[in-house]
Amino acid sequence: MKEYRQFYIDGQWVDPVTANDFAVENPSTEEQIGIISLGSAADVDKAVAAARRAFQTFGFSTREERIELLERLLKAYMDRYDEMAEAISLEMGAPRDFSHSDQADCGSGHIAAALEALKTYEFEHQKGNATIVHEPVGVCGFITPWNWPINQIACKVAPALATGCTMVLKPSEIAPLSAHVFSQMIDDAGIPAGVYNMIHGDGPGVGSAISSHKDIDMVSFTGSTRAGMAISKAAADTVKRVALELGGKSPNIIFDDIDLEDAVTRGVNHCMDNVGQSCNAPTRMLVPAERYEDAVEIAAKAANAIKVDKADKAGDHIGPLVSCQHFEKVQGMISAAIEEGARVAAGGPGKPEGLETGYFTKPTIFADVNNQMTIAREEVFGPVLVLIPYASEEEAIEIANDTPYGLAAYVQTGDEARANRVTRKLRAGMVRVNGASHGYTSPFGGYKQSGNGREWGEYGFEDFLEIKAISRNV
């Protein structure tokens, strides 16, 4: 078991003001693999003071200086790439191969996308008699989750560095090892002292101190809608900017003009990816009413074919849920769905056979679901998919939009005109057609209670920039 008690503040690894040990667990084995110390408001004060000092210089750095900085960071990331993949696999249970190919790739992907955007981004332009300048917002506070740990860290840190901001990061205390590795990369790259600071901690301690801190100019949070609301309220007294990437209950509309077996199978596999622990997972599958039972049968077959195993095993499979607490939450929602009348077509309560140790959950398909059931309205964040029938294109759109969320939506159709028509009517920040990927240069974010602002690529710059108009007599 390793110790990760120190924080990265002002370019150095430092001890917490007050030690408060917290055990890090491997969700595949339920074994303790590390110890961190949970920080406090006093640690946040130290980090913010360092970031504030650093901003006096870094906020006026040149584009060329920041390009060089991001190039060094990208190299440092690639040098420790395997170490990052291993950390993510251990801390949140991502299978070894998936962690290497998908999870760890997010870090380098976001750094590279920010680097390319920085080379051509227009920080200044003329409008009438005014020079319009885009300047760094200042000191930023980042609060990131455990489900795609380096993804959410990198897609905040990289654009902040690119735009000249300084920052204080609080990664998830459940999955903190990847943040520790990333902080070592920051140090390897020679990022100026105080520009990047990292403190381990929980929401009530470090998270609330960041949200309410008078010397933090902007907070960017990724996590649950409930927590996002609390952060917004805590930030209100200082009128700081708040960017939120929150929950989702994304619809996947499958139309009758496409191969049903292929579309349903792809939809099931996508939903179960990362054990369903993705805010943009397509967790509501909408299918034509006349093909409903066929779709349920195909979905059940696909779910039953998904392998579940420990994170250290090679191959194509899904791992455990991230923690005991989260396992119990997902199991509770599965049981509640059954009580409300949903039919278990595959999976169901309990752990897969032979995996009694670890927080493993059966890939689960629910049929006989309507859009008012709890299982169709609340984010499960586990390997659970519901199938809902619709009678017409209009009803499919109505059901898809009937949710408090609006992060992502998915459309499967062979009709280009229909795809164009439907995608424009869906109230979601991202719509993917026929399994198309979402690249690092596309904006990531949602409507309604899925948050505000956008991340990724050049779109991720905007939350970190203030707009100044400098007018002159002509």
Could you write out the DSSP letters of every residue in 260-284?
Answer: HHHHHHHHHHHHHGGGG--TT---E
pLDDT in tens, 93-148: 999 999 999 999 999 999 999 999 999 999 999 999 999 999 999 999 999 999 99
pLDDT at 181: 98
Domain ranges, ordered by start, for the chain: 2-246+450-471, 251-439
C-alpha R_g of the chain: 23
pLDDT at 111: 98
Phi, psi of 244 (to 5 degrees): -130, 130
pLDDT at 287: 98
Residues in the chain: 474
pLDDT at 35: 98
pLDDT at 290: 98
pLDDT at 474: 80
pLDDT in tens, 332-354: 999 999 999 999 999 999 999 99
pLDDT at 121: 98
Checking DSSP bridges between strand 7-9 and strand 12-14, what pairing results, if any? Answer: antiparallel
User: What's the whole-model pTM score?
Assistant: 0.97
The SS3 of residue 110 is helix
pLDDT along the chain (474 residues), means of 10: 95 97 98 98 98 98 98 98 98 98 98 98 97 98 98 98 98 98 98 98 97 98 96 97 97 98 98 98 98 98 98 96 98 98 98 97 98 98 98 98 98 98 98 97 98 97 98 92
CA distance linking residue 238 with residue 218, whole number of Å: 10
In this structure, which topology does domain 2-246+450-471 adopt according to CATH? Answer: Aldehyde Dehydrogenase; Chain A, domain 1 (3.40.605)
Q: Kindly list the distances between the CA atom of residue 86 and the CA atoms of 75, 94, 105, 185, in Å, as whole numbers in the listed order.
A: 18, 9, 12, 15
pLDDT at 1: 80
Catalytic site residues? 245, 279
Phi, psi of 151 (to 5 degrees): -55, -50
189 Cβ contact list (under 8 Å, min separation 6): 69, 72, 73, 75, 76
- Give the CATH H-level superfamily of domain 251-439: Aldehyde Dehydrogenase; Chain A, domain 2 (3.40.309.10)
Mean of the per-residue pLDDT values for the chain? 98
